[in-house]
Amino acid sequence: MMGFRVLLIKELREQLRTNRLIAVAAVFVLFGIVGPLTDRYMKQLIDAIGSQRGGFSIQVPGPSLDGAGGQILKNLSQFGILCALLLGMGSVAWEKERGTAGMILAKPASRAAFLAAKLVAISLTLGVAVTLGCGFGYLYTLLLYPTVFPLAGYLAMALLMWWMLVVFAAITLLGSTLTRSAIAAAGIGVVALIVFGIAGVLPVIGDYMPSSLGAPALDLMLGRDPGGIAGPVLFNVGLVVALFGVTWLAFRRQEL
């Protein structure tokens, strides 16, 4: 892919210059910390409020490693998908709107390299954010609980979560390529999220949906057997490749 290295450096510099990397990393760090804190102290907080308001009670499970793990995974995956949509929605649409895409591609750079640099840069940004968010989540769990997650399983969970976010980034990149509107691209990503959520409850195909990777990720995180995850993982790897291929086919026919 002609010009990929130069374009990737450009994209990474833009991630830093526009503070996208810092903003996304801050979101992940915040919610990585909030996860174990919420599980550890929520019951005490609710009980304290109840004792001051006439003794009413709400049944809240006590703190546990399972609860902390669920909070970390839920918070980081939900807000991570939102970050993936935001990072991908204007990646191509804004370039086409401003006319910079045509200027860049007038130089010795292929359209495949142009798109690949954007997807790789977004994936790296998400990877740094996931590493920091999961790292702080692990650290706070270590400080707040007598036991801690198995490290190998925790790393596998982080890797699965990261790839799930890459899938949504690839979908939004496709939307950004098909349209000239960043909002429309984000809408395509949201629709995909809804469709995957509905398909995730169906038999047979449900386990292969990107949003369904959370269940085996939680099992790995807690040291449990996740079952057969090779198929779903390979499917989602292939899905990103297929999405990129469709994005390239659509982009190479466009007049810039």
- pLDDT string in tens for the chain (256-residue length): 677 888 899 889 989 998 999 999 999 999 999 988 887 877 666 766 655 655 555 666 677 888 888 999 999 999 999 999 999 888 887 777 777 766 776 677 788 888 999 999 999 999 999 999 999 999 999 998 888 899 999 999 999 999 999 999 999 999 988 887 888 888 998 999 999 989 988 888 988 999 889 889 999 999 898 888 999 999 999 999 999 999 999 888 777 6
Q: What is the DSSP string of 170-188?
A: HHHHHHHHH-S-HHHHHHH
How many domains, in total, are found in the chain? 1
Burial classification of residue 188, based on how many CB atoms lie within 10 Å of its CB (0-12 exposed, 13-18 middle, 19 or more buried): buried
**Residue 94 within a domain:** yes
**Residue 33 within a domain:** no
Question: How far, in Å, are 5, 6, 89, 114, 116 from residue 105 at the CA level?
Answer: 14, 12, 20, 8, 13
Range of the domain at 87: 4-20+73-130+150-252
**Residue 35 within a domain:** no
**Residue 50 within a domain:** no
What pLDDT is attached to residue 163? 95
**Residue 92 within a domain:** yes
* Closest to 174 in 3D by CA, of 233, 118, 235, 108: 118
**Residue 51 within a domain:** no
**Residue 26 within a domain:** no
**Residue 30 within a domain:** no
Q: How far is 119 from 172, CA to CA, in rounded Å? A: 10
DSSP 158: H
